[in-house]
Amino acid sequence: MTGIENPGGEPEVLIGAAALVSGGRVLRPGWLRARGGRVGEAAEGPPPRTPDLDFGDAAVVPGFVDMHVHGGGGGTYTTGETDEILRAVAFHRRHGTTTTVASLVSAGPDALLRQVRALREPVAEGLLAGIHLEGPWISHGRCGAHDPSVLRDPDQAEIARLLEAGEGSIIMVTVAPELYGALEAITALTVAGVVVAVGHTDATYEQARAAIAAGARVGTHLFNAMRPLHHREPGPVLALLEDERVTVELVGDGVHVHDGLVAHVAADIGPRRIALVTDAMVAAGMADGAYRLGSLDVQVTDGIARVGATGAIAGSTATMASLFERAVRRLPGPGGRGARRGHRHDIEHPRPDPGAGRRGRPGSRQAGRLGGGPRRPGARGLPARAAGGHGLTRSRPLGAGDRPARLSGIASVPPAGLLPFRSDQLG
C-alpha cells in the first residue's frame, strides 16, 4: 500500500469510491483521508490526488454496530475461550461489524459467572463493546433457544454478583417483566447503568408498560420469543412500539421477521428507533450441520439454525453486511428506491443514548473509534453507537478521528467495511 509520510511518521492513505456514506449523506463521489487507521477528513467530489485505494463503483460505509450476537465463523462467546472469541470477532469484522456486543444465552449461576469473567478482558481490551445477558431471567414459555432447565426468577444477590464480576462489562440484560421480582431487578439494573431489554416474555401489555416505566429501553428481537400482538391483549409488542424511548431490535434476515413487517414497523416508528441485529450464532459463515448454542444442540439446514429437540429458531447465520444488503434491496416502499433513499439517510441520524445522562454526551466514550476501544472501569450501558441509534443498521457517521471499517481489525485479520454493492444501490 502506498501513502504519503507526514511529520508524525504515520503514512496518510487516501481512499476514493463512487459513493461514501458520511454525516447523514451519500457523497458522490466520495473520498477520505486516513492516518494510523483513523479518518482525518471525509468529503464529496473528486479526490485531491490519485487515491492510494480506489474502490471504483463500490460504496464505502461506516462500520456496523451489532448489539446482539452470540458468535460466528465457527467461534462463540459462550465458552469464554480466547480463540473462540477472537474467531467470532474476526469473522464479523470481515463482514463490516466494527462494534460487537457479545450476547450470552441462559446458563446456571456458576457457569454464567465464569462466562462473564472470561469476557471481561476482551471488553477491557476493546475487542468487544460489552456483554449482553439474554437470560436467565426470561419466560419458560417463550424461551426459544434457551435451556429451560436453567431459567429462573431475577435474584438481586445474583445480579449483584454478576455485575461485580463483570467490572462494568455487562451493558445490557434481557428480562421478562412478568417474572417475580422482575420490576425490582429492572430498577436495580437501570440504577447501575445497565440497559434493560424486554424479551423472551409472555408479558401482558400492562406488564410491559410497567417494565418500561421501571427503566427498560430496548425490545429484544421484537416479535420473536414474545407474546404475539392480539386485538384484545396486545402484549409487549404494542407497548414497546408505542413508547418513543424504546429501541426495538429486529432480526431482518427474512427468517425471523417478514420483510413486509420490518418495513411496516419502520414506517410506523421511524428507522431511528430500530436496530437491525444478527442474533448470529457459531454457524454464521459456516456450512450446514450440527452445532451448539449454550447447552443446546442446534441443527443448521439451508442456513437456518433450529434447536434439534424443539425446532425453535436458534439465532441466525447472518452478518450485518447481509442484513444491510437485504434492507437496501428488499424493503418495500413508495417507488422502491425512495425507500432505499430514506434508509440511506436514516442510518446515520442520531438519537439520544439511553445511558447518555450517566456518561456524558453520546459518543464521548471511546471517542471517535468505530472499532471500539478500552472501556473505563465501571462504565456500563450500550455504546452510544448502538443504543444511541443511527437507525436500522446502527452504523455511525464517519468523521475526523474515526476508524473506517476497512482499516480496523484484529492483528493481521483482514477486516471489511466495504459491502458488495454498486454505488447506485444506495439510491
Active site residues: 279
CB-based contact 251:277 (threshold 8 Å): yes
Question: Per residue in 260-277, is it b (16+ CB within 10 Å) or e — as a string?
Answer: eebbebbeebbbbbbbbb
Grid coordinates representing 186 are 429492572
Q: Is 344 exposed, middle or buried (0-12, 13-18, 19+ CB in 10 A)?
A: buried
Grid coordinates representing 294 are 449454550
Query: DSSP states of 165-203 as a string?
Result: HHTT-EEEEEE-TTSTTHHHHHHHHHHTTPEEEE-SB--
Q: Which residues contact 292 (CB under 8 A, 6 or more apart)?
A: 76, 282, 298
Under the phi-then-psi rule, with left for phi > 0, alpha for psi from -120 to 50, and beta for the rest, what region is 274? beta
How many residues are listed for the chain in this entry? 427
For residue 171, the Cα-to-chain-centroid distance in whole angstroms is: 12
Q: Residue 106 and residue 136: Cα distance in Å, rounded?
A: 4
Nearest to 284 by CA among 299, 298, 256, 305: 305
Q: Residue 214 and residue 185: Cα distance in Å, rounded?
A: 9
CB-based contact 55:420 (threshold 8 Å): no
Q: Where are the alpha helices (DSSP H) in 29-181?
A: 82-94, 109-125, 156-166
Q: Residue 302 and residue 4: Cα distance in Å, rounded?
A: 47
Three-class SS of residue 72? strand
* 168, 174, 175, 177 alpha-carbon torsion, rounded to 10°: 120
CB-based contact 138:199 (threshold 8 Å): yes
Q: Residue 160 and residue 234: Cα distance in Å, rounded?
A: 33
